[in-house]
């Protein structure tokens, strides 16, 4: 691959991710609205939200680290998108791989944590403490899944993983080969997103207690952008690992949206988990399912 | 040894000598009074000396004195010479011990070993400036690794 | 070579003449002792130079062995014999005026004479007599401080060593009953046929216990802590340093020449290990320096017995290395304890008050623990290598115990070093003589480290000579020079 | 004179110079320069090997030589010494109240001893170097007195126990093979029966593990490293524990060999010796890391992490594949740079504030921005996140575990990393973020003499993260020296079909992403208004500076609610139990000597026995 086309891909991949991510946000909000018998927001609402937040007159910053936190949060995901192969584009997926991606995805969280910490609001710090605890919770099943997939396909290169599934057809997909790991992965993915019923560490409903407490204006806008990327990344990663990756854009997008839509619809039915309960849940069921899946896989 | 009892005089003497040593040792082990200990030592020493004499004794021989006539079978003279030396040494040591006992009695007013032990222990501690010994129930002050600091709380 | 007799006879003679001489002139009484010791040391050195380390014998009174009493001086015996007057000179009691001073000097001379005799004698009963003489002298010296506790500690010492002597006497009786001789060379000749039986072993056990009292052998060593805590420190240094080594020398001759059987060695090793473990553990809990050193001395001598139980010249070399190291280090440490006698916790600040003493203590501690490249390490290494060579379960247990106990040793010694160097109120400084003795010990230690190849060659020579039973027998029984 | 001789001479000269000139005002600068000279000499030396002097004592040959493994560890040693000494050369030294000469000499002695250890050409020399390193370390740890003395004494117990285990192994090996040389040992070990081999592996493991602070021999390390004066702590934390890894690499990998370990089964189980070592390493990763999470002193927190990071190195090494062992070895150098950076920052804070209590600091980012930057880079590297070097080595370890098919070890490794992320966030949050205390409002940035080295090591950690190929060559040579498969590397990392990594691109894209993020943030939208650090509201109330609202104590309350009960202090209990047990025996032994006449009981028994034998 020549450098020029690679550069084009590197620019395009985050852009596509952003647009798709906006649509995903819209979809999630629509689903929530439908479940609550509401109409839901209009099509461009996510974009309008971002624009509105950026355009606010009062923009309060608590210092450079506060700003840089947002920069890291957004920038980290932009980098992550270039490591996720999509139909027709692989970016630098061959130079990183699954483990690198998993760790690059932690950089935005760290950025956010730094930004919140600088705000000197104890409620924000409590939110970060919860968020990191939650990360410890959902990462355990997540890494079991990563291990299983990488071991199964004999590589941690996402391109190889996707290609192997596509070559073997649906029977060769991760989800058919390792259903238990796929199930565990779904749990972990959902925990990672911080949506109902695991949203306590984001605490979107309680402004005063949570990481977002000092976020407003551009900071909030940046986090909104990050959320788009986050949804996209999680969905696409799952599709790549278990659902054969993207043969073409149509099936790829359909699978990605489905990955989000199905569990979100189910999860809305559950009440919110406390942090400790989240940890307990994640370390119990998905971890056990994942380990069982590994046991099947390795014998 | 066969089980029929034929009183071999030599064996009887050896048993007697060993018996003296054992009796003396028992006295040393169970005695509580210093003077009794010294006496027990003397008893045991007599046993040891007897053993040495027996080592060279022959029933069918004469005293080892050269008289100029044809030498008959003689008792081995060396052990007897040795025993003489040993007795002298034993007496000297016992005299010294008794002299020391006098000093001890003057210093502490008692010759009871248990009492002396406590007094001396107290004395040494006082001279060194050490408090009472640790109770076994207080391991926290032990000088071992158990008493060292852990990580900061 | 009848000059060999002089270093024994001269001090004894002077000891008895000292009392009347004291009446005549105080100065004479004061200086006669050291002068005689100097002469003795000089004589011995001259003999050593003349013989060049080759063994020589001397039959006393012209009676040829095995009937007469014989002296046997190989390099090892001469080394020990030289060590006696030299140590006594270095540790000579502080001059007291009048009767008491004269008495002490006489006792010291008695100790030196009998000690030299022990080093040189080649006859078991003669050894026993010198041993008793030395014991009596040490009773007097130990109780010389005149405090009540010194008397009590000495009484205890008298009882234990009295009992030890009679057991040794019983052992001698057994030996004589079996062989009809007490000459070591002749015993060595007779041992394979007459002593390779339970009775021989019993005789060895008796002798071991008897001579073990001075050598701080378990279980006849429980007089040690109290005595060293109560007696004057130079006396403790002398007893722990050179006197214990003389007893060890006797046991060494006995094991090499007479009782060279696996059972005897096993007995020696078990007792040595028991002493090693109990001594070091007790030292770990000791709360004042003199007793800490006393316990540690018991432990060190336990190691020495373990080494002594190892067969062959290599085992002997290991034992000699440990013995010489201890001979060098322990007296120096006791001299340092002269002023550091209180509770360990009260020594804080001593490092600042007398940096030289603290530095020397640290050096000795490092060597005792066995930190390379100090001599203590090489001594320990030799012992360990010989233990590993045996490789039986027994040897390996001993190996593990020696290693484990070293950790304990390091802990209590460096806990103390830590205390010495921590800030505190302790201000006592050492007497120049104590510092000089300790400094000399340290200097010799460092010199030995720097000339390690030469020292190790000399050690191997000593060991092979001492292990050469054939030479001992032919030389002694073949008549003197 | 060989290059190695020159190096030893330079190192000895440094020690001598510090012994003589240690009290001089500029002694620190001199020492730094001399360490620099040593480092330069090392770089001029051939990496694959050099020999030095031989000695002979008691019939044993002692020889010193360097191979690529020694060279690799020597670079880390001298590099850490150089930066640590620089750190302590300026204002720190002027403010230091302890004995300077002693301190400078102790540091130089440590370096010299470690070089001697690294150059050991046979097992006896290895032991000599090992002891020298242990005692030099003890000196450095103990010289601050007080708490440090107690911690050092505890270290000494562990170190001596380890050294004695090692000595035991050596003498047994000597008698089995007749020589202390590596070649003889290799041959002996190859032919040895499983039973004795297990015994030797355990003894070597105890011996070297004590310094590496492998579980369960880890309790001494945190306090001993933390209480040492700043540059000493940096040096100890950065590199001293790695000597244990060096020796393990030399013996377990170089002499015994990974295949032999794989073939050596634990009786009655399906485990092999390799599994056992790997699991010890994995537990060393996990447990100390979570102990670190509970620390309230920044130095202790970092020191506990140091123990855990040692586990990663051993884990990678013992996997034995080219990737894993390279990762383990690479982590040595990465970790040294990282930990040095972190400790320098923490001690910089201590220099300014006077303590490192995580509950009594906060908000220092505005006061000490450069320190913050260095700490940020450091924690990213310690947590093993891109773009820092800590990520690269950990990635190699993870990937090798995946390739080797070891899910639980992988899980343990990552759980350790997650714990690290949690606790390093606590570190940076409690130190630099959150509420600024009123008494710290006028605080200055750390002095330049301390800032430059910390930024330099942070830069090193960054550069070797971006271009790991710069140092992977050293690692590859070291692998070859102990007979491991050699890693195939590029400038940016690893190129292999099973797991590839090109940090040049990854970091490039990350920074491009940050650039875009910054552009989006600063280039678009309304102008931000920056409020003062002390201008805060919470729950509608103005928070004035007199109110303590920094959320610091029990930072992960929710998590601790869940896992708090798992901290049982079992190792402390074990240590205490051994100590008390020994103490009991010791009391018995002391009682034997203090009792009135026990000897006579025994003697009476023995007389009876002899009488029985005689009759």
Output b/e per residue, D162-177; b: 16+ Cβ within 10 A. bbbbbbbbbbbbbbbb
Give the model's confidence band at D110: pLDDT under 50 very low, under 70 low, under 90 confident, else very high. very high
Check whether D34 has a pLDDT greater than 90: yes
Q: Does the CB of D600 have a partner CB in chain B at under 8 Å? A: yes
Mean per-residue pLDDT for A245-269?
87
Predicted local confidence at residue D235, as pLDDT: 93
Q: What is the Cα–Cα distance from A202 to A215, expressed in whole angstroms? A: 12
Q: What is the Cα–Cα distance from C192 to C203, expressed in whole angstroms? A: 14
Please check whether residue D290 lies inside any domain of the structure: yes
Give residue-wise pLDDT tens across range B98-143: 988 898 888 888 888 888 888 887 877 777 776 655 544 443 443 4
How many other β-carbons are positioned within 10 Å of the β-carbon of residue C319?
Answer: 28
| D425 Cβ contact list (under 8 Å, min separation 6) | A110, A113, A117, A128, A132, D379
Q: What pairing do the DSSP bridges indicate for beta strands A60-61 and D529-530?
A: parallel
- Interface with chain D: mutation pick from B15, B43, B148, B153, highest number of D CBs within 10 Å: B148
Check whether D30 has a pLDDT greater than 80: yes
If you search the block for the tokens 């069982």, which residue do you land on?
Answer: A292
Q: Does the CB of D594 have a partner CB in chain B at under 8 Å? A: yes
The nearest CA of chain C is from the CA of B34 a distance in Å of 9
Give residue-wise pLDDT tens across range C381-402: 999 998 888 878 888 899 999 9
Q: Which residues of chain B lie closer than 8 angstroms to D291, CB-CB?
A: 151
Give the model's confidence band at D598: pLDDT under 50 very low, under 70 low, under 90 confident, else very high. low
Check whether D330 has a pLDDT greater than 90: yes
The alpha carbon of residue D326 and the mean position of all alpha carbons in its chain are separated, in whole angstroms, by 17
Q: Residue B62 pairs with which residues in a beta bridge?
A: B74
Give residue-wise pLDDT tens across range C152-182: 888 888 888 888 888 888 888 888 888 877 8
Looking at the fold, whether D304 and D177 belong to one and the same domain comes out as no
Among chain C residues, CA nearest to B91: C162
The alpha carbon of residue D355 and the mean position of all alpha carbons in its chain are separated, in whole angstroms, by 23
Q: Which of A194-198, C364-368, D115-119 has the lowest mean pLDDT?
A: A194-198
Predicted local confidence at residue B4, as pLDDT: 55
Mean per-residue pLDDT for D146-158?
91
The answer for C480, left when phi > 0, alpha when psi is -120 to 50, beta otherwise, is beta
Among chain D residues, CA nearest to C204: D610
Predicted local confidence at residue D155, as pLDDT: 93
The nearest CA of chain D is from the CA of A117 a distance in Å of 5
Residue B100 to residue C155, Cβ atoms within 8 A: yes
Q: What is the Cα–Cα distance from D204 to D251, expressed in whole angstroms? A: 8
Residue B151 to residue D300, Cβ atoms within 8 A: yes
Check whether C479 has a pLDDT greater than 60: no
How many other β-carbons are positioned within 10 Å of the β-carbon of residue B61?
Answer: 13
Q: What is the Cα–Cα distance from C382 to C389, expressed in whole angstroms? A: 11
Q: Does the CB of B37 have a partner CB in chain C at under 8 Å? A: yes
Helix (H/G/I), strand (E/B), else coil: A118: helix
**What crossing angle do the helices spanning C393-421 and C262-285 adopt, rounded to 10°?**
30
D153 phi/psi in degrees, rounded to 5: -65, -40
If you search the block for the tokens 């158990």, which residue do you land on?
Answer: B146
Predicted local confidence at residue C96, as pLDDT: 67
Predicted local confidence at residue C427, as pLDDT: 81
Q: What is the Cα–Cα distance from A43 to A30, expressed in whole angstroms? A: 9
What total number of domains does chain D contain? 3
Looking at the fold, whether D326 and D399 belong to one and the same domain comes out as yes
DSSP states along A72-98:
HHHHHHHHHHTTS-BTTB-TTTTTS-H
Predicted local confidence at residue D615, as pLDDT: 56
Do A291 and A144 meet the contact criterion of CB atoms below 8 Å apart?
yes
Q: Residue D538 pairs with which residues in a beta bridge?
A: D541
Q: Do chains A and B touch (3 or more CB pairs under 8 A)?
A: no
Predicted local confidence at residue B2, as pLDDT: 46
Give the model's confidence band at C220: pLDDT under 50 very low, under 70 low, under 90 confident, else very high. confident
- Interface with chain B: mutation pick from D423, D585, D588, D596, highest number of B CBs within 10 Å: D596
Output b/e per residue, C127-149; b: 16+ Cβ within 10 A. bbbbbbbbbbbbbbbbbbbebbb
| C166 Cβ contact list (under 8 Å, min separation 6) | B21, B24, B41, B44, B45, B47, B48, B90, C210
Please check whether residue D531 lies inside any domain of the structure: no
Q: Which of C68-72, C367-371, D13-17, D465-469 has the lowest mean pLDDT?
A: C68-72
Q: Which of A133-137, B68-72, C195-199 has the lowest mean pLDDT?
A: B68-72
Nearest to D411 among A126, A128, A143 (CB): A143
If you search the block for the tokens 């001893």, which residue do you land on?
Answer: D113
Check whether A160 has a pLDDT greater than 60: yes
Predicted local confidence at residue B139, as pLDDT: 39
Give A198's DSSP letter. S
Token reading at A293: 């899946």
Predicted local confidence at residue B67, as pLDDT: 63
Among chain B residues, CA nearest to C416: B143
Looking at the fold, whether D563 and D579 belong to one and the same domain comes out as no
Do A62 and A214 meet the contact criterion of CB atoms below 8 Å apart?
yes
Percent of chain D with pLDDT over 70: 97
C73 phi/psi in degrees, rounded to 5: -125, 95
Give residue-wise pLDDT tens across range C30-58: 788 888 888 888 888 888 888 877 888 87
Give residue-wise pLDDT tens across range D435-464: 888 888 888 899 999 999 999 999 999 999
Domain around D438: 257-483+547-567
Check whether D60 has a pLDDT greater than 90: no
Do B100 and C158 meet the contact criterion of CB atoms below 8 Å apart?
yes
Looking at the fold, whether D56 and D190 belong to one and the same domain comes out as yes
Predicted local confidence at residue B145, as pLDDT: 43
What total number of domains does chain A contain? 1
Check whether A1 has a pLDDT greater than 70: no
Predicted local confidence at residue C366, as pLDDT: 93
Give the model's confidence band at C63: pLDDT under 50 very low, under 70 low, under 90 confident, else very high. low
Q: What is the Cα–Cα distance from D343 to D355, expressed in whole angstroms? A: 13
Residue B103 to residue C151, Cβ atoms within 8 A: yes
- Interface with chain B: mutation pick from D583, D591, D614, highest number of B CBs within 10 Å: D583
Burial of residue C391 (number of CB atoms within 10 Å: 0-12, 13-18, 19+): middle
Percent of chain D with pLDDT over 90: 51
Give the model's confidence band at B147: pLDDT under 50 very low, under 70 low, under 90 confident, else very high. very low
Q: What is the Cα–Cα distance from D580 to D53, expressed in whole angstroms? A: 46
Residue C220 to residue D599, Cβ atoms within 8 A: yes
Mean per-residue pLDDT for D144-159?
90
| B71 Cβ contact list (under 8 Å, min separation 6) | none
Looking at the fold, whether D187 and D49 belong to one and the same domain comes out as yes
Among chain A residues, CA nearest to D408: A144
Predicted local confidence at residue D600, as pLDDT: 63
Helix (H/G/I), strand (E/B), else coil: C58: strand
Q: Which residues of chain B lie closer than 8 angstroms to C285, CB-CB?
A: 142-143
Do D250 and D166 meet the contact criterion of CB atoms below 8 Å apart?
no
Domain around A95: 3-298
Predicted local confidence at residue A205, as pLDDT: 61
- ∠ CA C274-C280-C285, nearest 5°, is 125
Residue C198 to residue D613, Cβ atoms within 8 A: yes
DSSP states along D133-162:
HHHHHHHHHHTT-THHHHHHHHHHHHHHHH
Give the model's confidence band at B150: pLDDT under 50 very low, under 70 low, under 90 confident, else very high. very low
If you search the block for the tokens 């947002």, which residue do you land on?
Answer: A70
Predicted local confidence at residue A23, as pLDDT: 94
Q: What is the Cα–Cα distance from C81 to C118, expressed in whole angstroms? A: 8
The answer for C352, left when phi > 0, alpha when psi is -120 to 50, beta otherwise, is alpha
Most confident of A100-104, C7-11, C20-24: A100-104
Q: Which residues of chain D lie closer than 8 angstroms to A113, CB-CB?
A: 425, 429
Those chains having 3 or more beta-carbon pairs within 8 angstroms of chain A are D
- Interface with chain B: mutation pick from C126, C147, C152, highest number of B CBs within 10 Å: C152
Q: What is the Cα–Cα distance from D445 to D464, expressed in whole angstroms? A: 27
C69 phi/psi in degrees, rounded to 5: -90, 140
Looking at the fold, whether D64 and D171 belong to one and the same domain comes out as yes
Give the model's confidence band at C459: pLDDT under 50 very low, under 70 low, under 90 confident, else very high. confident
Please check whether residue D511 lies inside any domain of the structure: no
> Which sign, positive or negative, has the C-alpha torsion C306, C311, C312, C314?
negative
Token reading at D49: 């090997």
Give residue-wise pLDDT tens across range C252-284: 988 888 888 888 888 888 889 999 999 999 999
Give the model's confidence band at A212: pLDDT under 50 very low, under 70 low, under 90 confident, else very high. confident
Mean per-residue pLDDT for D150-175?
92
Give residue-wise pLDDT tens across range A29-86: 898 898 888 988 999 999 999 999 888 888 888 888 999 999 999 999 999 999 999 8
Predicted local confidence at residue D611, as pLDDT: 62
Domains of chain B listed by start with CATH number: 9-61+75-130 (1.10.287.3510)
Q: What pairing do the DSSP bridges indicate for beta strands D60-66 and D50-57?
A: antiparallel
Three-state SS sequence of A172-191: HCHHHHCHHHHHHHHHHHHH
Q: Which residue has the higher pLDDT, B120 or D610?
A: B120
Predicted local confidence at residue B7, as pLDDT: 62
Mean per-residue pLDDT for C96-120?
84
D89 phi/psi in degrees, rounded to 5: -85, -25
From start to end of D544-591, where are the E strands?
A: none
Those chains having 3 or more beta-carbon pairs within 8 angstroms of chain C are B, D
Give the model's confidence band at D351: pLDDT under 50 very low, under 70 low, under 90 confident, else very high. very high
Q: Which residues of chain C lie closer than 8 angstroms to B54, CB-CB?
A: 173, 177
């Amino acid at each position: 691959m020549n450098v020029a086309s690679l550069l084009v891909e590197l620019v395009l991949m985050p852009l596509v991710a952003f647009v798709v991510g906006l649509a995903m946000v819209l979809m999630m909000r629509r689903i929530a609205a439908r479940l609550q018998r509401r109409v839901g927001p209009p099509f461009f609402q996510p974009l309008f939200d971002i624009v509105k937040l950026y355009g606010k007159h009062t923009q309060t910053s608590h210092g450079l680290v506060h700003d840089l936190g947002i920069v890291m949060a957004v920038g980290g995901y932009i980098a992550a998108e270039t490591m996720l192969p999509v139909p027709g584009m692989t970016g630098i997926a061959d130079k990183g791989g699954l483990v690198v991606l998993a760790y690059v995805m932690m950089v935005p969280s760290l950025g956010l944590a730094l930004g919140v910490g600088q705000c000197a609001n104890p409620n924000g710090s409590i939110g970060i403490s919860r968020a990191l605890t939650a990360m410890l919770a959902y990462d355990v099943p997540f890494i079991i899944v990563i291990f299983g997939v990488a071991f199964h396909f004999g590589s941690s290169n996402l391109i190889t993983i996707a290609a192997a599934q596509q070559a073997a057809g649906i029977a060769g997909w991760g989800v058919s080969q390792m259903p238990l790991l796929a199930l565990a992965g779904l749990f972990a993915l959902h925990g990672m997103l911080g949506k109902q019923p695991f949203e306590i560490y984001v605490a979107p409903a309680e402004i005063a207690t949570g990481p977002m407490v000092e976020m407003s204006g551009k900071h909030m806008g940046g986090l909104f952008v990050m959320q788009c990327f986050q949804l996209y990344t999680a969905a696409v990663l799952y599709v790549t690992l278990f659902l054969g990756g993207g043969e073409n854009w149509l099936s790829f997008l359909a699978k990605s949206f489905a990955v989000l839509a199905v569990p979100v619809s189910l999860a809305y039915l559950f009440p919110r988990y406390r942090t400790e309960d989240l940890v307990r849940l994640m370390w119990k069921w998905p971890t056990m399912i994942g380990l069982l899946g590994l046991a099947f896989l390795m014998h | 040894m066969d089980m029929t009892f034929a009183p071999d005089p030599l064996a009887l003497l050896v048993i007697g000598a060993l018996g003296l040593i054992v009796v003396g040792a028992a006295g040393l082990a169970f005695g509580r009074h210093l003077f009794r200990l010294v006496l027990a030592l003397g008893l045991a020493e007599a046993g040891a000396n007897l053993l040495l004499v027996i080592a060279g004794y022959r029933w069918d021989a004469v005293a080892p004195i050269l008289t100029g006539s044809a030498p008959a079978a003689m008792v081995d003279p060396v052990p007897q010479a040795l025993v003489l030396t040993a007795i002298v040494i034993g007496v000297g040591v016992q005299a010294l011990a008794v002299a020391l006992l006098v000093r001890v009695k003057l210093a502490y007013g008692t010759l009871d070993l248990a009492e002396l032990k406590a007094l001396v222990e107290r004395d040494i501690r006082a001279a060194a400036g050490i408090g009472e010994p640790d109770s076994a129930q207080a391991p926290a002050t032990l000088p071992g690794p158990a008493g060292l600091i852990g990580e900061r709380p | 070579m009848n000059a060999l007799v002089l270093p024994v006879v001269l001090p004894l003679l002077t000891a008895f003449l000292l009392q009347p001489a004291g009446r005549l002139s105080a100065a004479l009484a004061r200086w006669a002792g050291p002068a005689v010791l100097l002469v003795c040391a000089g004589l011995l050195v001259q003999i050593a130079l003349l013989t060049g380390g080759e063994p020589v014998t001397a039959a006393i009174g012209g009676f040829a062995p095995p009937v007469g009493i014989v002296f046997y001086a190989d390099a090892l015996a001469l080394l020990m014999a030289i060590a006696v007057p030299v140590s006594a000179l270095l540790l000579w009691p502080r001059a007291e005026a009048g009767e008491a001073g004269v008495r002490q000097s006489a006792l010291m001379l008695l100790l030196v004479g009998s000690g030299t005799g022990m080093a040189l004698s080649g006859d078991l009963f003669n050894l026993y007599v010198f041993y008793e003489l030395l014991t009596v002298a040490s009773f007097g010296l130990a109780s010389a401080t005149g405090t009540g506790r010194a008397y009590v500690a000495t009484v205890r010492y008298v009882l234990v060593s009295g009992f030890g002597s009679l057991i040794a006497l019983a052992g001698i009786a057994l030996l004589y009953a079996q062989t009809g001789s007490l000459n070591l060379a002749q015993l060595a000749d007779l041992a394979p046929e007459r002593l390779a039986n339970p009775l021989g072993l019993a005789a060895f056990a008796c002798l071991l216990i008897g001579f073990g009292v001075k050598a701080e052998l378990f279980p006849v060593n429980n007089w040690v802590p109290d005595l060293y805590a109560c007696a004057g420190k130079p006396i403790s240094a002398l007893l722990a340093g050179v006197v214990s080594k003389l007893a060890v020398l006797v046991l060494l001759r006995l094991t090499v020449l007479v009782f060279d059987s696996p059972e005897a060695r096993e007995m020696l090793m078990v007792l040595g290990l028991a002493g090693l473990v109990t001594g070091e553990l007790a030292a770990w809990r000791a709360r004042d320096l003199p007793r800490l050193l006393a316990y540690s001395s018991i432990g060190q001598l336990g190691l020495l017995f373990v080494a002594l139980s190892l067969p062959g010249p290599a085992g002997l070399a290991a034992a000699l290395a440990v013995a010489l190291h201890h001979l060098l280090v322990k007296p120096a440490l006791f001299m340092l304890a002269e002023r550091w006698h209180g509770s360990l916790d009260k020594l804080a600040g001593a490092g600042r008050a007398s940096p030289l003493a603290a530095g020397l203590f640290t050096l000795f501690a490092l060597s005792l623990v066995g930190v390379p490249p100090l001599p203590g390490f090489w001594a320990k290494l030799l012992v360990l290598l010989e233990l590993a060579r045996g490789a039986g379960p027994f040897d390996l247990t001993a190996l593990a115990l020696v290693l484990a106990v070293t950790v304990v040793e390091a802990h209590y010694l460096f806990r103390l070093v830590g205390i010495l160097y921590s800030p505190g109120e302790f201000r006592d400084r050492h007497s120049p003589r104590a510092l000089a003795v300790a400094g000399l010990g340290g200097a010799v230690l460092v010199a030995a480290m720097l000339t390690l190849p030469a020292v190790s060659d000399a050690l191997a020579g000593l060991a092979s000579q001492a292990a050469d039973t054939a030479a001992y027998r032919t030389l002694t029984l073949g008549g003197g020079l | 004179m060989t290059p190695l001789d020159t190096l030893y001479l330079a190192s000895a000269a440094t020690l001598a110079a510090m012994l003589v000139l240690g009290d001089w005002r500029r002694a620190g600068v001199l020492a730094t320069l001399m360490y620099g000279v040593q480092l330069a000499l090392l770089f001029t030396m051939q990496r694959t090997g050099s020999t030095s002097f031989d000695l002979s004592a008691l019939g044993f040959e002692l020889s010193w030589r360097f191979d690529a493994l020694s060279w690799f560890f020597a670079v880390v040693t001298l590099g850490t010494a150089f930066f640590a000494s620089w750190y302590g050369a300026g204002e720190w030294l002027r403010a230091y109240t302890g004995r300077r000469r002693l301190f400078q000499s102790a540091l130089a002695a440590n370096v010299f001893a470690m070089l001697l250890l690294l150059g050991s050409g046979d097992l006896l020399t290895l032991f000599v170097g090992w002891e020298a390193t242990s005692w030099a370390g003890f000196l450095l740890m103990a010289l601050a007195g007080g708490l440090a003395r107690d911690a050092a004494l505890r270290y000494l117990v562990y170190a001596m126990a380890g050294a004695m285990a090692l000595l035991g192994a050596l003498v047994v090996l000597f008698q089995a093979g007749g020589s202390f040389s590596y070649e003889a040992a290799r041959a002996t070990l190859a032919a040895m029966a499983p039973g004795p081999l297990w015994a030797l592996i355990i003894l070597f493991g105890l011996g070297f593990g004590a310094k590496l602070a492998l579980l369960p021999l880890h309790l001494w390390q945190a306090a001993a490293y933390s209480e040492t004066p700043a540059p000493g702590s940096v040096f100890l934390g950065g590199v001293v524990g790695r000597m244990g890894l060096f020796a393990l690499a030399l013996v377990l990998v170089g002499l015994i060999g990974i295949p032999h370990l794989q073939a050596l089964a634990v009786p009655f189980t399906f485990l092999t010796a390799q599994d056992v070592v790997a699991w010890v390493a994995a537990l060393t990763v996990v447990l100390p890391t979570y102990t670190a999470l509970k620390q309230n002193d920044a130095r202790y927190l970092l020191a506990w992490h140091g123990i855990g990071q040692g586990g990663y190195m051993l884990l990678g090494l013992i996997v034995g594949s080219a990737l894993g062992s390279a990762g383990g070895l690479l982590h040595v150098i990465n970790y040294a740079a990282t930990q040095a950076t972190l400790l320098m920052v923490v001690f910089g804070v201590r220099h300014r504030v006077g303590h490192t209590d995580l509950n009594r600091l906060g908000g220092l980012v505005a006061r000490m921005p450069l320190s913050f930057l260095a700490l940020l880079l450091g924690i990213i590297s310690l947590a093993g996140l891109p773009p820092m070097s800590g990520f690269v080595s950990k990635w190699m370890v993870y990937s090798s575990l995946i390739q080797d098919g070891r899910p639980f070890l992988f899980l343990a490794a990552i759980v350790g990393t997650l714990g690290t992320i949690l606790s390093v966030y606590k570190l940076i949050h409690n130190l630099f973020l959150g509420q600024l205390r009123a008494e710290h409002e006028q605080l200055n940035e750390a002095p330049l003499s301390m800032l430059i080295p910390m930024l330099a090591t942070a830069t090193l950690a960054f550069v070797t993260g971006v271009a790991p190929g710069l140092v992977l060559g050293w690692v590859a040579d070291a692998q070859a020296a102990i007979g491991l498969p050699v890693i195939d590397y590029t400038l940016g990392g690893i190129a292999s079909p099973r797991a590839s990594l090109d940090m040049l691109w990854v970091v490039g894209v990350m920074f491009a992403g940050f650039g875009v993020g910054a552009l989006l943030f600063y280039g678009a939208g309304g102008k931000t208004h920056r409020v003062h650090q002390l201008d805060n509201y919470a729950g509608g109330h103005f928070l004035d500076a007199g109110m303590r609202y920094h959320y610091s104590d029990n930072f992960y309350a929710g998590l601790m609610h869940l896992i708090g009960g798992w901290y049982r202090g079992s190792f402390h209990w074990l240590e205490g139990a051994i100590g008390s047990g020994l103490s009991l025996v010791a009391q018995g032994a002391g009682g034997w000597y203090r009792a009135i006449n026990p000897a006579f009981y025994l003697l009476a028994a023995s007389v009876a026995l002899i009488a029985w034998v005689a009759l």
